[in-house]
């Protein structure tokens, strides 16, 4: 139920971040199709590495991608002041 609420709210968030409604819906569509693929990848990694190691691996990847995202936003703000408004 909460996932549906997140997916329904994301276009609003993306538009406020400066994307057009078409771009925001494209990202939501990509995430909707990516969810089953992510479940399959999670299954395969967990089957090969085990549950604990799989969780550690995905947690580290999440931390790394979060760091890259924050740095990208900071770089964009430095290069194009006011772009994220």
| Residue 77 banded pLDDT, cuts 50, 70, 90 | low
pLDDT tens across 50-66, in order? 999 999 999 999 999 98
Q: How far, CA to CA in Å, does 54 sit from each of 20, 49, 60, 82?
A: 36, 6, 10, 39
Residues in the chain: 85
**Angle of the 2-16 helix axis to the 21-49 helix axis, nearest 10:** 130
- Domain residue ranges in the chain: 1-35, 50-85
Tell me if 14 sits within 8 A of 26, measured CB to CB: no
Q: Kindly report each contact of residues 20-24 with a partner whose C-beta sits within 8 Å and lies 24 or more positions away, as own/partner.
A: none
Residue 27's contacts (CB-CB under 8 Å, 6 or more residues apart) are: 10, 14, 19
| Residue 11 banded pLDDT, cuts 50, 70, 90 | confident
């Amino acid at each position: 139920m909460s996932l549906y609420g997140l997916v329904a709210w994301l276009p609003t968030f993306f538009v406020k971040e400066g994307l057009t409604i078409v771009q925001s819906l494209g990202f939501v569509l990509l995430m909707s199709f990516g969810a089953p693929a992510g479940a399959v990848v999670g299954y395969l990694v967990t089957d090969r590495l085990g549950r604990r190691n799989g969780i550690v691996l995905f947690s580290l990847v999440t931390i790394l991608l979060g760091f890259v995202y924050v740095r990208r936003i900071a770089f964009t703000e430095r290069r194009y002041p006011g772009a994220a408004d």
